[in-house]
Amino acid sequence: MEIKSIKFIINPSSGRQTMERRIDVLIKMLLDNGYIVGKSFTKEKNDAMIMAKKACNSNFDLIIACGGDGTVNEVAKGIMESRRKLPLAILSGGTVNDFAKYLALPTNAREFYKLIKRERMIEVDIGKVHTINKSEHEYFVNVAAAGMLTNVAYQVQADIKAVLGRMAYYFEGIKELGKQKFDPLQVRIKSDEYENEEDILLFLVSNSSSIGGFKKLAPEADILDGLLDVVIIKKSAITDLANIFMNILTGDHINHPNVIYYKTKSVYIESSSIVPIDIDGEYGGELPARFEVIPKALRILI
């Protein structure tokens, strides 16, 4: 396909002035070279999803999501829920964009323009989540998680994220560490590869290896393999927990006896208690939930 008409979906709170400058430079380059450009700014939750749906039903050839993982998630959901599924380019911004970093996408306007001109695409897997307490499905491009510290992302206020960037997450994480006693979650895990009842501190169902700024949290994850990677940290003494987290930087944590790690196409997780789920850094409902992969679901410019 030939890309001529491009829709920008922009989260204005992501990166603010630096992001605006990059977008302005990029749009000028596109217009000067004969592209048709439209842009929309999000104001509240689900705006990016609605805008993506409208773009898919219009005459655009490409959507560029400008923001963090949450913005990319909403745009991807809008594309998935449309009959005409446009390709997606990601101009990274915001406090966290693990997915863009995993793909090593350019952030410089000139390099990003070259990416558009090249029109090279890959078909990547995405995750799908169905929770009992929500009628519609959720999707994740990067990770779904629950347990220790996973509520940090959606507890940090948007204006604080914009000003402090990644430090906002660290500050909130420190506050949470001080408050939490690391009470384990009692869950039942059901999948073809593994089934058991466990007392756990954290579970991750990941599409890529980069999560929360850690490049090797799911070290064997691959967005092209048609599988999701499950990482479960079982109830642990503080010394074991410290050892696990020290080894996350190298990916060796998956060899710890208190860590369960495997690949699957689908996993069902339930709990007798209320357990909120984090989906790409945003609140995504509660357990019980089924997490499954949709292979080659999304075309991404790289």
Hey, which residues are catalytic here? 282
Can you tell me the distance from the alpha carbon of 237 to that of 232, in angstroms, rounded to the nearest whole number?
Answer: 15
Residue 184 DSSP symbol:
P
Can you tell me the distance from the alpha carbon of 232 to that of 230, in angstroms, rounded to the nearest whole number?
Answer: 7
Question: E strand or H helix at 276, and its extent?
Answer: strand 276-279
Angle formed at CA 13 by CA 125 and CA 26, multiple of 5 degrees: 70
Can you tell me the distance from the alpha carbon of 96 to that of 153, in angstroms, rounded to the nearest whole number?
Answer: 9
Angle formed at CA 63 by CA 62 and CA 64, multiple of 5 degrees: 120
| Other beta carbons within 10 Å of 2 | 5
Structure tokens at 219: 């070290």
Can you tell me the distance from the alpha carbon of 249 to that of 4, in angstroms, rounded to the nearest whole number?
Answer: 42
Q: Where are the alpha helices (DSSP H) in 6-97?
A: 16-32, 47-56, 69-80
